[in-house]
Chains A and B, each alone.
Chain A
């Protein structure tokens, strides 16, 4: 069955370190998204991609970057982790505007 996976599921890191969160989907969807979930804010869009070599900033993109070298993967990098980036991160993918976004299980990141 097609799926979307995230790794690691839990990560503790120190302020200032670079961290990369992995997202891999096997639906062959062109569209992939990264969100962060914080209490009282729901999910907020960090970055998104509509295809290989395409990346776009979302509403909370400062301090984050993504790259898209193939259809299946969209890794999220925190260049210099900050305590404000402690959150749960979700990756999602979709095939079309009318279609469902499929979400991964999430990565809980703690920056100390």
Chain B
């Protein structure tokens, strides 16, 4: 079975500063990797996904993530955050040819002026 660990439960950051959210996974087979964002009182929205190919993946709202197979990591980054990036972020994995997602516990990002 696969599992996901998000290493930081809360990340406070100042506006226009960079942010990195760390995600590690474990799986005995190849996986697809995802980052979702949940704004307050809303459902989840896909930020980006890694399926194959280039290990650097660009997503919406200026976010990007890098897949590192040797370290089994998929860290999310943004070079300059805005107040509107305040949200909860979830890393998720799915094994190939399966439909089920396994989620990490989430990282709450709070952006302050």
Contact = CB atoms under 8 A, between A and B. Distances in A.
Given A40-B105, A42-B103, A42-B106, A105 B43 contact: yes
A33 B32 CA distance: 18
A96 B96 CA distance: 11
A90 B96 contact: no
B90 interface: yes
B46 A97 contact: no
Contact of A94 (B9, B44, B99, B102): B99
Contacts of A106: 42-43
A48 B104 contact: no
Interface string A84-112: 00000010101011101101111000000
Contact of B49 (A100, A104, A105): A100
Q: Is the interface of A mostly helix, strand, loop or mixed?
A: strand
Contacts of B96: 97
Contacts of B90: 42-43
Interface residues of B, number: 25
A104 to B, nearest CB: 6
A67 to B, nearest CB: 18
A43 B103 contact: yes
A103 B98 contact: no
A105 B105 CA distance: 19
Interface string B75-113: 000000000000000100010111111111110000000
Interface of B: 4, 6, 9, 32, 36, 42-46, 49, 51, 90, 94, 96-106
11 contacts: A33-B100, A35-B103, A40-B105, A42-B6, A43-B103, A48-B100, A90-B43, A92-B44, A100-B46, A103-B43, A105-B42
